[in-house]
Amino acid sequence: MTASASSPQARHFALIPAAGVGARVGGAIPKQYLPLAGKPMLQYALDTFAASTAIAHTFLVVSAGDGYIDDFLATQPQLAGKLTVLRNGGATRQDSVLNGLQAIGAQLGGDDWVLVHDAARPGLTAQLLDRLIAALHDDEVGGLLALPVVDTLKRSGGAPAQRAEATVPRDALWAAQTPQMFRYGLLKRALEQAHAQNRVGDITDDASAVEMLGLQPKLVEGSPRNFKVTLAHDVALAELFLKT
């Protein structure tokens, strides 16, 4: 059954999976704790959610062996009472999301909204968050921030030559961002079904799990500043956005 839009009292919760190490960025510590324009990268998203009156609470999923989270929290008094740390992160991002959803089940109703956001997207703003919530508040499926693809896309013939084999039409193509916002019951069912069907490898984001149920998440225009810090050179670009 599709999630109902008839729940005027549905609440909004943020869920941030942060159990990875971000090896491609480099550095001696997991990338979510790397300093970025004067603050740990993770702090930007947490502060945005904490400042929003639309977000009832934020859940942060870290690995059981995370040796940095306690020191980080000690420097974040503004998050007291607004953040719960779940120390049950999994081997993959989707494992962490599902583990987090299962852990908070007693606190959420099936029609409550969950906004899953990447810890490595520090450029999320209050305006983007409000835009997403406003666009999806009565949607029967949910959706995500995304950007229409504007670059010309090439398909390569593969290694080692890496030559352009064809130009891929970009019409109707969007680059997915986060948050991705779905009803708690729907998202949990989508991820559990993907795991049960051994299709975890087909999941590249939360929306793709929902799509496997035959549903079509809504695309809400995001912003270039809300990009994911993945490689070492992304750090400098993120700092430029955050300083403007």
Residue 28, domain extent: 12-242
In a domain, 227, yes or no: yes
Beta strands in 18-98 (DSSP E): 35-36, 39-40, 55-61, 83-86
User: Is 3 within a domain?
Assistant: no
Asked if residue 149 is part of any domain, the answer here is yes
pTM of the model: 0.92
The pLDDT of 103-113, averaged and rounded, is 97
Does the residue 4 lie in any domain?
no
* Residue at 102 is within a domain: yes
Tokens describing residue 103 = 């852990």
- What is the rounded end-to-end Cα distance, in angstroms, of the chain? 44
- pLDDT (0 to 100) of residue 219: 98
pLDDT at 77: 96
Q: Measure the CA–CA gap between 223 and 221, rounded to whole angstroms.
A: 7
Total structural domains within the chain: 1
Q: Each residue of 50-82: pLDDT tens digit?
A: 999 999 999 999 999 999 999 999 999 999 999
What's the chain's average pLDDT? 92
- Asked if residue 1 is part of any domain, the answer here is no
pLDDT higher at 17 or 160: 17
Query: How many C-alpha atoms does 46 have within 13 Å on its Cβ side?
Result: 27
Task: Report how far residue 92's alpha carbon sits from residue 150's, in angstroms, rounded to the nearest whole number.
Answer: 30
Structure token pair of residue 162: 């890496």
Collect all residues with Cβ–Cβ distance below 8 Å to 211 and sequence separation of at least 6.
217
Q: Residue 26 belongs to a domain with what CATH number?
A: 3.90.550.10
pLDDT digits (tens, 9 = 90+) for 199-229: 877 899 999 999 999 999 999 999 999 999 9
